[in-house]
Structure 1
Amino acid sequence: MRDDRQLWYRRPQRIVAIICALVGGLLIAFGPEARAMWWSNPVVTVEDALTIEALPTATATPLVVYVSGAVTAPDVYRLTPGARVIDALQAAGGLTEQADVSGLNLAAQVRDGEHIRVPYAGEVAAQAEVSETAGLINLNRASAAELEELPGIGATLAARIIERRETQGPYRSVAELREVSGIGEKLYSQIAPLVTIDP
């Protein structure tokens, strides 16, 4: 006759019951920390993956430039970063027949806020003539402070230069500076290239 009485460790039901009792005791003894350790799920769900993929990506800020002069449609245009001057001219509809791009670098990169002006034919030569006197101090219009920027000219000589034009009329040539007391040949040779009498 079979003996139904088996050792306790040979009965799986009792072993499972003992394990469950031990686990339950640990959860009760160590509280939420143990439960979190046992039941935490590090697996990323589909919803989490979709949320990560949906994060916004950084977008490049467009360049805003003003194109004027001898182009078909002068206006403000938005260009992609890294655009060149030629791209800005194409955005403005291209060049007119009167355009002169000899002084433009069509391959130069465009800067945000830049003003690109395409000169008309003949305008470049006129600008070159003006640039010859650009930055020169006009003896007939300069203030005392402007004259004092010249080498060797202090407050006293600046006042004498102004007094000369007020008492004897406008300077008719730069050489008339020699008539101002205190301006010798050496000083005159230093300041003559820096002044003009042009209106």
Structure 2
Amino acid sequence: MKRTLLFFCIFAFFVFAYVGRYQPISLDLVSPSTKTVEIKGEVKKPGVYTIKWDGTIKDLIQAAGGLCPEADTSSIAMLKEMNPKEVIVIPRKSATTLKKVSLNTATEQELQTLPGIGPAMASRIIEYRKTKSFTSLEEIKEVKGIGDKMYEKIKDRICL
């Protein structure tokens, strides 16, 4: 009788020890395999894309159809992993990275890309250089209508 009682006590101990140990698996604890990220700016197809969880900015750009020719990726880390619901903006090349305009060889259209230079001013610059080519950048102030203020606006964008 003592053995039977001891057996039931041990059996009850093991039964109560295992009760409540097994819990259903919650799918909330499972990590996702994809993430949604938005890309804007100088890409061919800006929008919201779903990429692999360990996807990088390079993968996102490929999903968006690639970069536009005006895209400036010098400040973007292509191997950076993104957070879910993050917004990535690909900037456009700034004016400082654009090609400088030569005062002695530029066409009228190229001169008009300078800030504050329209068709009339571009024609005056071309007429001036027909008589005398430019030997210094400051010499452009001799063209009628270009003063110190205009020169300050365009000095970083011109060359000889």
The answer, yes or no, to whether TM exceeds 0.5 is: no
Normalised to the residue count of structure 1, the TM-score between the two structures is: 0.33
Larger Rg: 1
Please identify which structure carries the higher helix content: 1
Normalised to the residue count of structure 2, the TM-score between the two structures is: 0.40
